[in-house]
Amino acid sequence: MQFRTRAERHLKAIGQPVLPFLLPIAKCEADLTRTAVFRLFHELGDETVIEACINALVDSNEYVRDYANKTLERVTNESFGYQPNASPRRREAGQEKWRKWWEKEKAELAEVEKLKG
């Protein structure tokens, strides 16, 4: 545990450049590893972690779900009333709200980029 905590502190000190390297680890089978990754996403995350966080809203670990939701709310300034301790059906419904919102946002961003170019 001491090594994991030290590693997490070092990654946090590096900052946002670590995000692309953490994305694949967000799918790790180990609960403590996923929790640490999503805790870092919460502290450092930007739009690059949105999809990973949306996917994690139905994770088996409540802490992962909680950090994923908090990250989404912080990065996007949106909230859809998601509860990480809700029933699986409600968590899936909350995930779907986030997913629909993100698809709409991506389409709007693509349209803006298209108009620029």
**Among 60, 105, 58, 52, CA closest to 78:** 105
Name the average pLDDT for the chain: 95
Tens of pLDDT along 23-72?
Answer: 999 999 999 999 999 999 999 999 999 999 999 999 999 999 999 999 99
pLDDT at 1 over 70: no
Kindly list the domain boundaries of the chain, sorted by start residue.
2-116
The DSSP line for 10-21 is HHHHH-GGGHHH
- Asked if 41 contacts 26 with a C-beta cutoff of 8 angstroms, the reply is yes
Q: What percentage of residues in the chain have a pLDDT greater than 70?
A: 98
Question: Are the C-beta atoms of residues 102 and 54 closer than 8 Å to each other?
Answer: yes
Judged by DSSP in three states, 62 sits in helix
Interhelix angle 62-76/31-44, rounded to 10 degrees, is: 10
Alpha carbon 92 to its chain's center: 15
Percent of the chain with pLDDT over 90: 86
* pLDDT over threshold 90, residue 86: yes
